[in-house]
C-alpha cells in the first residue's frame, strides 16, 4: 500500500518574478529495493519507508520586471529529500532511519540566460547533487569491487543555445559538463562514471 501527500503554493509578487514551493510525502508499506550485499543482487522487501521533502522554484525575467529589450533571466530549483527506512520490524540488514539507496539529500539546478528580440536564447547552468548511499547499510567505505561505498556529491556546468530561424525551425546546441569533471554516477556492478564533457547540436523542424 502507498499513501501520497502533496501540497504547494505558487506566487508572483510582481510581474517578472515567480516563486513556488511544494511539500511532498510518500509512505510505502512494503517497498522493494535491491540488496547489493547479496551475490545475485536480489531484490528484497524492506517494509515501511518514507520519502518526504520540499521542492522550490524561482524565476526572474528582466523584460517584464524592468522593461528591457533583451530578456535577462534567472531560474533556480532546489529539492530537499528525506528518504529513510521507517519499519519497526526487524529485517536483515535494515536499520530504522537509515537513508534509502540512491536518494541524494540535496539537488540544485540554476540557470542564467538571455533571450534576444531576434530569436536567440543562450543560457549557462549549474547542476549539483549531494552524496548518496548505495546500500541498505549506508556503507561509507569503498570496497575492492567498487560496488559498496558512498557516492560523493558532484557539481557540473552546462551551456545551451537555441536560435529560431523561422517560425517552425530552430537550431540548437547543448554542452554538458564543461569542465569535464570526473564523478561517480552509480556503483551497480562496479563504478560507473558520470557523463563527461559533451557537445551536441542539431536542427528542430516542427510541422
Query: 35-39, 66-70, 81-85, 166-170: lowest mean pLDDT where?
Result: 35-39
Question: Quick check: 122 pLDDT over 70?
Answer: yes
144-152 contacts, C-beta under 8 A, 24 or more apart: 145/190, 146/187, 146/190, 146/191, 147/36, 147/187, 147/188, 147/189, 147/190, 148/36, 148/37, 148/187, 149/187, 151/184, 151/185, 151/186, 151/187, 152/183, 152/184
What is the average pLDDT across 44-73?
A: 95
**pLDDT tens readout for residues 99-118:** 999 999 999 999 999 999 99
What is the average pLDDT across 30-45?
A: 74
**pLDDT tens readout for residues 13-35:** 999 999 999 999 999 998 888 77
Query: 71-85, 112-126, 137-151: lowest mean pLDDT where?
Result: 137-151
What is the reported pTM? 0.89
Amino acid at each position: 500500500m502507498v499513501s501520497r501527500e502533496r501540497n504547494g503554493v505558487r506566487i508572483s509578487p510582481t510581474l517578472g518574478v515567480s516563486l513556488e514551493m511544494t511539500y511532498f510525502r510518500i509512505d510505502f508499506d512494503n517497498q522493494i529495493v535491491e540488496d547489493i550485499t547479496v551475490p545475485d543482487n536480489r531484490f528484497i522487501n524492506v517494509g515501511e519507508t518514507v520519502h518526504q521533502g520540499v521542492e522550490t522554484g524561482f524565476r526572474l525575467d528582466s523584460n517584464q520586471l524592468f522593461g528591457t529589450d533583451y530578456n535577462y533571466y534567472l531560474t533556480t530549483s532546489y529539492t530537499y529529500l528525506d528518504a529513510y527506512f521507517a519499519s519497526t520490524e526487524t529485517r536483515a540488514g535494515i536499520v530504522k532511519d537509515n537513508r534509502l539507496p540512491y536518494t541524494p539529500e540535496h539537488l540544485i539546478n540554476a540557470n542564467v540566460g538571455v533571450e534576444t528580440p531576434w530569436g536567440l536564447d543562450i543560457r549557462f547552468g549549474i547542476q549539483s547533487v549531494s552524496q548518496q548511499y548505495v546500500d541498505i547499510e549506508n556503507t561509507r567505505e569503498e570496497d575492492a569491487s567498487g560496488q559498496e561505498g558512498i557516492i560523493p556529491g558532484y557539481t557540473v556546468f552546462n551551456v545551451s543555445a537555441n536560435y529560431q530561424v523561422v517560425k517552425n525551425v530552430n537550431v540548437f546546441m547543448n554542452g554538458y559538463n564543461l569542465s569535464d569533471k570526473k564523478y561517480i554516477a552509480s556503483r551497480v556492478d562496479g563504478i560507473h562514471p558520470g557523463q563527461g564533457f559533451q557537445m551536441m547540436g542539431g536542427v528542430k523542424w516542427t510541422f
